[in-house]
């Protein structure tokens, strides 16, 4: 996060977060900040669209009753954060102003680590939608976000859901890429601010990546030309 974001968080009276597993929440709590989390709502089975609508309504109502709040999201609030634009629309309808202060996205880290310049062409996909068709241009690098997201009803974080995501991923990628094509699973480290990378080969992704996939993983699929 930037120093500007840190100062805003430290000066805030009330902070709401979507995801209390975000490491920043723990740090805020250690510094005596009270953080309200929407996390338990994810366990209710309410469809995500309705859930984000509900979160935005709570934030607006809270502002109208008690004054300004901070809604803190990881990284850039407009990178895979659907509640942000919803909140801005609702706030404008309610006559409230919103100041958006961006943090550093995982995209920034990925661009630097892999010297990946989107100017050369880049596909950014959401596994939740992409797994339904699996189309990719093999001549362009791809970043598949949310590869550890629960897409099956019976998804359990104990491993069965992750395994079925990886089997699906492997199957879909094998339609476009040759067996043995290298891909990279990028995941934040639990111990520090580093990003962990584990490579895998198409054809054996479930076995290789099963114990590394998390809710916060992204898959980098290099284009064919990187290995020619």
Ligand X SMILES: C[S@@+](CC[C@H](N)C(=O)[O-])C[C@H]1O[C@@H](n2cnc3c(N)ncnc32)[C@H](O)[C@@H]1O
Q: Where along the sequence are the contacts to ligand X (CB under 6 A)?
A: 73-76, 79-81, 105-106, 145-146, 186-188, 195, 216-218
Integer-rounded Cα Rg, in Å, for the chain is: 19
> Least Å distance between CB 145 and ligand X?
4
Contact criterion met (CB below 8 Å) for 72 and 7: no
Nearer to ligand X, 188 or 206 (CB): 188
Nearer to ligand X, 171 or 212 (CB): 212
3-state secondary structure of 179: coil
Helix ranges (H only) for 67-131 are: 82-93, 106-113, 127-130
Nearer to ligand X, 58 or 128 (CB): 128
> Least Å distance between CB 144 and ligand X?
8
Q: Beta partners for 200?
A: 183
> Least Å distance between CB 197 and ligand X?
9
Nearer to ligand X, 146 or 202 (CB): 146
Instruction: Report the residue closest to ligand X, judged by CB.
Output: 75
> Least Å distance between CB 219 and ligand X?
8
Q: Residue 144: CB partners within 8 Å, gap ≥ 6? A: 125, 126, 127, 130, 169, 218, 219, 221
């Amino acid at each position: 996060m930037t120093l500007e974001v840190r100062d805003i968080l430290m000066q805030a009276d009330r902070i709401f977060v979507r995801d209390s597993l975000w490491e920043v929440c723990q740090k805020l709590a250690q510094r005596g900040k009270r953080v309200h989390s929407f996390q338990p709502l994810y366990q209710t089975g309410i469809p995500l669209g309705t859930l984000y609508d509900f979160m935005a309504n709570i934030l607006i109502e809270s502002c109208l009753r008690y004054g300004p709040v901070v809604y803190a999201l990881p990284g850039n609030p407009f990178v895979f954060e659907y509640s942000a634009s919803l909140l801005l629309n609702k706030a404008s309808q309610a006559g409230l102003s919103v100041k958006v202060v961006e943090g550093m996205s995982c995209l920034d880290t990925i661009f630097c680590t892999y010297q990946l310049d989107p100017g050369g062409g880049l596909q950014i996909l959401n596994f939740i939608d992409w797994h339904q068709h699996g189309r990719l241009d093999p001549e362009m690098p791809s970043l598949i976000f949310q590869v550890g997201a629960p897409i099956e009803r019976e998804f359990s974080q104990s491993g069965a859901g992750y395994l079925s995501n990886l089997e699906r991923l492997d199957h879909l990628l094998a339609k476009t890429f040759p067996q043995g094509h290298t891909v990279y699973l990028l995941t934040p480290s639990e111990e520090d601010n580093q990003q962990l990378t584990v490579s895998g080969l198409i054809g054996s992704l479930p076995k290789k990546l099963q114990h590394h996939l998390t809710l916060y993983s992204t898959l980098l699929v290099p284009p064919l030309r990187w290995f020619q």
